[in-house]
Amino acid sequence: MSARGAGLRARKTIPLCGWKSFSVLDRYVATPRHTLVQEGATIQNALVSFVRLASKLVAELDSWAKQIKKQQQDVLGFLEANKIEFEEKDIAANEENRKWMRENVPEDSRPASGNPLPPRLFNDSRYLGDYEAFFEARENNAVYAFLGLTAPPGSKEAEALAKQQA
């Protein structure tokens, strides 16, 4: 949206690189979380504000990617440590795997906007849940039930199940 379209007055428009213009504004231009340009800001200050916002966005995306990677490692580490056979499908490098995952996550388990993000767990083609569901099952010593598997004898989950049945 342009400064004029937002009801703000532009004092001066300065072409930048011959293809885009920035305005020196008389008031704040703000989003709900970020003040982008202050009253009477120079083009240099405005660009610095935009660069800071872009840097923050890159840092947030990097943090988000690290969180997904950590969650994936947590799930894989648990499965490997407990000698549970699994098949890992790379959705970053394989479009077919990505399409399959998106099609097989039930509507009620999809985010409000965008696509479902990894890690997502399936037993064959049956959707089990996302990382939060896995984590909750692990905290409740119910991972084998969550995965649709029988808990091995001597595991905390098997012992808890035996107590419930007794």
pLDDT at 29: 41
Q: What is the largest CA-CA distance in the chain?
A: 80
In which band, very low, low, confident or very high, does the pLDDT at 64 lie, cut at 50, 70 and 90?
Answer: confident
The answer to whether 117 touches 67, Cβ cutoff 8 Å, is: no
Provide the CA 15 distance to its chain's centre, in angstroms.
37
Each residue of 108-164: pLDDT tens digit? 999 888 888 889 999 998 999 999 999 999 999 899 999 999 999 988 888 888 888
The CA distances from residue 116 to 57, 73, 97, 105, in Å, are 20, 18, 13, 7
**pTM of the predicted model over 0.75:** no
- For residue 127, with 0-12 CB atoms within 10 Å meaning exposed, 13-18 middle and 19 or more buried, which class applies? middle
